[in-house]
Amino acid sequence: MGGDWMPHNRLAQAALARRWMDLLPVKEQAWRIPAGMVQLLGELTVEAIGMQERANSPEGTKGDAARMRTAFAELVAHMRDIRRRIFFMPPLTEGDFADLGLQPPDTIRTPHIDVPEMVDFVIHLSNIRELVVDFWIQGQTHKAKPHGYDGAVIIWDIRDTPPEEPANLAHHTMASRTPHTLTFAETDRGKTVQIALAWQNERGTIGQYSEYKSAVIP
């Protein structure tokens, strides 16, 4: 995806946020959107638009203008996080990207050409209810992610056996640096979790997933 997808004009940013709010609430389950992510988008959208209206009113002050800039910065940061963590995982289709007002990922090149590197990783036990995923480029000794990459996509699910397909794992997140800590609920303690990783480049293309590894949640 060439160039920056985020509009630079605040009116356009607000319009894009509204567009996402029309679609994301009904897609939370199908797209496996983490709890609270859409609600926070709605709150930040309302706050940014409200501060913009106040700052642009005859009663608007320099303080209101500063608060408007902060509100839009927080909104944009959250939208970038949503895009990075959600929009490049299945099951989004080309039509879904059109609904979101975004260009779909480039499907002409194959992931094996765009993202040839694979992830190797180990799972460390940390505090209770936490697993630490320490990852690196397979075959390398350093821990740096590939140049120009966003990081590694971590997919996982609580289950005793690995899935047939990566998409069958219910949870995913983007880890921009290693190690990355996964946090679980108290009721998950003692259960087995299956984990796999793949690199994602700055164009949003995800490479081949690693082998599955498992650990028991402490």
Angle separating helix axes 37-55 and 10-23, nearest 10 degrees: 150
Structure-token pair, residue 176: 């921009």
3 state DSSP class of 173? strand
Q: What is the pTM of this model?
A: 0.53
Minimum mean pLDDT among 57-71, 156-170, 177-191: which range? 156-170
pLDDT in tens, 166-216: 878 889 889 999 999 999 999 999 999 999 999 988 878 888 899 999 999
Taking the C-alpha atoms of residue 42 and residue 55, their distance in angstroms, rounded to an integer, is 20
Looking at the domain covering 111-216, what would its CATH class be?
mainly beta
Taking the C-alpha atoms of residue 4 and residue 49, their distance in angstroms, rounded to an integer, is 22
Taking the C-alpha atoms of residue 197 and residue 155, their distance in angstroms, rounded to an integer, is 6
Decide: 163 and 210 in contact? Cβ < 8 Å.
Answer: no
> Domain coordinates of the chain in residue numbers?
10-100, 111-216
Long-range contacts of 140-147 (CB under 8 A, 24+ apart): 143/178, 145/176, 145/177, 145/178, 145/199, 146/117, 146/199, 146/201
